[in-house]
Amino acid sequence: MPQTSSRGWQRPSIYDVARRAGVSHMTVSRVLNGHPNIRESTRSKVLQAIDEMNYTPSSIARALATRRARRIGVLIDGPVQNGPNNTLRALEKAARGVGYAVSAFSIGSDDESQMDSGVMELVTQGVDALCVIAPRASSLDLLRQQTTGLPTIVIKAEADAAWHTVGVDQRAGARLAVKHLIDLGHTSIAHLAGPQDWFDARERVQGWRESLDEAGLAHGPFVVGEWSSDFGFDFGQTFEWGDTTAVFAANDQIALGVVHGLARRGIRVPEDISVVGFDDLSDARHFLPPLTTVRQDFAELGELALQQVIAAIEGNTDPTHDTIQPALIVRESTASRA
């Protein structure tokens, strides 16, 4: 039963379990952590005591037993954007499922002190590993200057010789979007790209170019901007379309702005211009018209990132690279070119 005192209920400790089972607290710790050199009769006594006392090992006790904090430090770049934010949430959920906690530090500017401060704060918390959600090349350049001695995993689509990496295959997603438009008969396809310091934006540009090259089509209009609806809106309002009949937007916010800008000019989507986005925001199916887009499975990304984190903590030091395949979601913002 739980312990009581004059101050009320107290959670039973590992020492209480040890007394109930008639073993040392180190034996209880070994049972909790699956140590193989424990007699089955001893293991049964400890497990019975744990069950009777409704004992839940605290993170402190677990850390003392394993010399690990069971805590992952996460540096998150571009935290207000959809991709980094959803990646962090997915990683937190996956970590909780296996008893790990997450401490996050947001990098909000290009100031080198932001990276220094983030690494320092997380390291001083005694984290077991660092996971870096790093969409920008400049942030990784700063990270390369740090020496922590901790296993480090970077979430990005490209492999990196310095770290374990995991990401959604952004180039493949862009190729899905552009191939869809080509299959509908579009031969001049514009691309509205995100900031080129972002790895994902670069990869989506490459996928757009490769798909056009393979189809023997000229590269359509190419404009670099921000991850914002305002960027798409300005383009939709002012661009002289000529032979261009389709747009691949680097994210759904840009696509939303394009549709709005076109509507202000009386240009119809998809009858006059087809539009494809990227991300599949939760509201993308409610755009007018519902948006054809590329879906990233952030839950799967979080699980895969966590697997790499734990493997690195357990001693896998050789840099690995894993990717998740995105999916094309076809809705009503694209149509065949008559």
Q: What's the CA gap between 276 and 291, in Å, rounded?
A: 7
The pTM of this model reads: 0.76
| pLDDT computed for residue 244 by the predictor | 97
* pLDDT tens for each residue of 265-323: 999 999 999 999 999 999 999 999 999 999 999 888 888 888 888 888 888 778 888 99
Q: Do 199 and 135 form a contact (C-beta atoms < 8 A)?
A: yes
Task: Please enumerate in sequence order all residues whose Cβ is within 8 A of that of 338, keeping only pairs 6 or more positions apart, or say none.
Answer: 185
Q: What's the CA gap between 298 and 168, in Å, rounded?
A: 8
Q: What is the 3-state secondary structure (H, E, C) of the chain?
A: CCEEECCEEECCCHHHHHHHHCCCHHHHHHHHCCCCCCCHHHHHHHHHHHHHHCCCCCHHHHHHHHCCCCEEEEEEECCCCHHHHHHHHHHHHHHHHCCCEEEEEEECCCCHHHHHHHHHHHHHCCCCEEEEECCEHHHHHHHCCCCCCCCEEEECCCCCCCCEEEEECHHHHHHHHHHHHHHCCCCCEEEEECCCCEHHHHHHHHHHHHHHHHCCCCCCCEEECCCCHHHHHHHHHHCCCCCCCEEEECCHHHHHHHHHHHHHCCCCCCCCCEEECCECCCCHHHCCCCCEEEECCHHHHHHHHHHHHHHHHCCCCCCCEEEECCEEECCCCCCCCC
| pLDDT computed for residue 68 by the predictor | 61
Task: Please enumerate in sequence order all residues whose Cβ is within 8 A of that of 278, keeping only pairs 6 or more positions apart, or say none.
Answer: 173, 174, 177, 204, 248, 249, 250, 251, 252, 255, 293, 294
How many other C-beta atoms lie within 10 A of the C-beta of residue 52?
13
Q: What's the CA gap between 155 and 166, in Å, rounded?
A: 5
| pLDDT computed for residue 67 by the predictor | 52
Residue 92 in tokens: 């937190």
pLDDT averaged per 10 residues in sequence order, the chain, 338 residues? 46 82 83 74 87 66 54 81 84 85 79 72 84 82 78 88 91 98 98 94 97 97 97 97 96 98 97 97 95 94 87 81 95 93
For residue 25, CA distances in Å to 4, 39, 142, 189 come to 20, 15, 44, 67
Domains present along the chain, CATH in parentheses:
3-66 (1.10.260.40), 71-168+299-325 (3.40.50.2300), 170-296 (3.40.50.2300)
